[in-house]
Amino acid sequence: MTGITGQCLCGAVRYRADVASLDAHACHCGKCRRWTGGPALCLEHDGAISFEGSEHIKVYPSSEWAERAFCAVCGSALYWRLQGTSYYSLSAGTIDDQSHLRFARQIFIDDKPSYYDFANATEMLTGEQVVAAFNADNPTE
Ligand SMILES: [Zn+2]
Ligand SMILES: [Zn+2]
């Protein structure tokens, strides 16, 4: 476990979490691109996050199963979460020390628009592969 801290652009929301991995991923799906203005760079975390300034967190249900949270003061995208669970994708850009992150994976690669490409050598998963892997990890879903 590695302890990480982070905050939104204005600092109204701060957080702390113990994460199992520092492997970051990029999501190229259309929702993430609208949400962040580009591909979403995120760190997966299954567990507790302790927030300061949580009264400033606004939660938007972006589908029937997921929600996205942002700072109501500055608009920073904070996290995507599987509703009713402790499974988060934290916005990597909000982490205070990003020097130890590893760019491991790109997901929804089949939704990526053609105008950009990351040069990093990463694992690549299509949307279908992401959903299949997720269902395999969560057999009750
Ligand atoms: Zn803020
Ligand atoms: Zn996405």
* pLDDT tens, position by position, 46-98: 999 999 999 999 999 999 999 999 999 999 999 999 999 999 999 999 999 99
In the chain, % helix, strand, coil (3-state, to 5) comes to: 20, 40, 40
Q: What average pLDDT does the structure give for the chain?
A: 96
The pTM (predicted TM-score) of the whole model is 0.93
- Of the listed ligands, the closest to the CA of 71 is 1
* Reported confidence tier of residue 139, pLDDT bands at 50, 70, 90: low
Two tokens, residue 55: 């009264």
Kindly give the distance from the C-alpha atom of residue 80 to the centroid of ligand 2, in angstroms, as a whole number: 9
Print the domain residue range for 21.
Answer: 2-137
Q: How many domains does the chain have?
A: 1
Kindly give the distance from the C-alpha atom of residue 53 to the centroid of ligand 2, in angstroms, as a whole number: 26
- Of the listed ligands, the closest to the CA of 41 is 2
* Closest by CA position to 6, among listed 86, 106, 85, 79: 79
Residue 104: pLDDT over 70: yes
Kindly give the distance from the C-alpha atom of residue 100 to the centroid of ligand 2, in angstroms, as a whole number: 23
Q: What is the CATH number of the domain that holds 90?
A: 2.170.150.70
